[in-house]
Structure 1
Amino acid sequence: MPRSGELRDRVTFQARSVVDDGYGNEVSGPWTDQFTVAANIAPARGREEVLAQRLQGVRPVEITVRWSSQTVQIAPDWRAVNARKPSEIYNIHDIRDPDGKRAWNVLTCTLGAPT
């Protein structure tokens, strides 16, 4: 696990808001910022997937954040945005506490996959 000084990245976590469509139905609205925390973004091994009969490169990363009352709220339907490079948007696939000590959350994410 990284040390505190190795959390050199900033990540903003976003969730979809729920809005009324004017007919009494709740639909997914725009992404809204939930919070921003220090993180370590580490690239994992790349892979290729076949989507719509085309080979597409997928760039997986692992984002490590400190365990806190904010970070335990993160869900796979959220997304992470690099606060220093807002064009880097990560889709969250898995959230785990690697050692079970509630010290770190490790998120397995992909960059380059559709949102």
Structure 2
Amino acid sequence: MATKFPTAQELDRRVFFDARVELDDGYGNTEGGFSERFEVWAAFRSRGGSEAVQAARLEGRNTFGVYVRSSSETRQIATDWRMRDKATGNAFAVKIVDAISDARWVYLEVQTGVAA
């Protein structure tokens, strides 16, 4: 029987979380970038994929439900952050953050193929 929350064995992927920051380009302008905040173990659960037409092209998008243990760091995650898989280097845009429903877990919905 499938459980709602992950088991310890499912926390098998190491991920980085990056917050959006404004960086000075050295010429008096600022540009958006990301700054790595922390690294944690995560459990991925596929939520399926979709396709979107952008500029007359079909683009694939994969959506994942991700569980991380609740901590002072993980409760800071916001929807303008991005998540990176340490093993593959893939970046995911954080779309939904639920740090309230359960005191032990932070649930995220992340998506590939979109801007973070």
TM-score by length of 2: 0.84
1:53 Cα offset (Å): 2.5
- The amino acid that maps onto 1:6 is E
Structure 1 match to 2:52 = 49
CA distance in 2, matches of 1:69, 1:109: 20
1:54 Cα offset (Å): 2.2
Q: 1:40 aligns with which of 43, 68, 76?
A: 43
Contact 2:75–2:99 at 8 Å: present in 1 too? no
Q: 1:81 aligns with which of 81, 84, 101?
A: 84
Structure 2 match to 1:72 = 75
- What's the RMSD between the two structures over aligned residues? 1.8
Structure 2 match to 1:16 = 20
- The amino acid that maps onto 1:59 is N
- The amino acid that maps onto 1:114 is A
- The amino acid that maps onto 1:55 is L
User: Which SS does the other structure have where 1:77 is aligned?
Assistant: coil
CA distance in 1, matches of 2:99, 2:75: 10
1:24 Cα offset (Å): 5.5
- The amino acid that maps onto 1:13 is F
Structure 2 match to 1:63 = 66
Identical-pair percentage: 35
1:3-40: CA deviations, max 9, x gaps?
Answer: 223201111001222233556554424x2210000001
How many residues in Structure 1 have an aligned counterpart in Structure 2? 112
Structure 1 runs of 4+ aligned residues shifted over 6 Å read none
Which residues of structure 2 form unaligned runs of 5+?
Answer: none
TM-score by length of 1: 0.84
User: Which SS does the other structure have where 2:96 is aligned?
Assistant: strand
Which residues of structure 1 form unaligned runs of 5+?
Answer: none
1:112 Cα offset (Å): 2.1
